[in-house]
Chains A and B, each alone.
Chain A
């Protein structure tokens, strides 16, 4: 039971470099999400995808882009990394039914931008 799988687990980037964080889920969920977690700020939604083929901005989208490649995969891209993007990134997925709103999270990607 893999659930939500994120790669890589750790990454160090230099300012201005680009990278893509990968996420895949095997639960046949419709909706997928990218959050960032910073000390004292909880988790904040970057982007989400309600269903395959759609994406939309969350609370803190600036500096990021996303791609919903298919129903299983949702990637997050940093085009030009900045130190302010140092954070732990979590991908999540959910069934998206009215009475079933549990979100399942991956184990996170710890990103440091120097």
Chain B
């Protein structure tokens, strides 16, 4: 049973376009939703995260939108650049629950020049 479902599996965007990745979760006890970025041959690294008391969080070109009632959250990358080409993972966890991250399956993003 996949607790965090992520889509699409892969995404191709032109430079300057908007990349959108969606995730849905099952467990209403989750209260911390990070996005991790992974480049080939590297480990994942935290990109941006949100807690369910806000509906949106923005850091530079990266924005998380959160819909608590629908149990969905999404990552928007504005003005996508070739350097954004990577695999993106959404995740969820329960604060104080030993930070056991439950990951989505990942989205491979390719930004073409």
Chain A residues with CB under 8 Å of chain B are: 4, 31, 33, 35, 40-45, 48, 50, 56, 58-59, 90, 92, 94, 96, 98-99, 101-108
Contacts and interface: CB of A to CB of B under 8 A. Distances in A.
Tell me the dominant secondary structure on chain A's binding face. strand
A58 B102 CA distance: 10
A45 B100 contact: yes
A107 B105 contact: no
24 contacts: A4-B43, A33-B100, A40-B105, A42-B4, A42-B105, A42-B106, A43-B44, A43-B103, A44-B103, A45-B100, A45-B101, A58-B100, A92-B43, A96-B99, A98-B95, A98-B96, A99-B95, A103-B99, A103-B101, A104-B45, A105-B43, A105-B44, A105-B45, A107-B43
A90 to B, nearest CB: 5
Given A43-B89, A98-B95, A106 B105 contact: no
Interface of B: 4, 6, 9, 32, 34, 41-46, 49, 89, 93, 95-96, 98-106
Given A31-B98, A94-B99, A98-B96, A103 B46 contact: yes
Chain B contact residues: helix, strand, loop or mixed: loop
Contacts of B105: 40-42
Chain B CB within 10 Å, residue with most, of A40, A43, A92, A105 = A43
A46 to B, nearest CB: 11
Contacts of A101: 32, 34, 49, 93, 95, 99
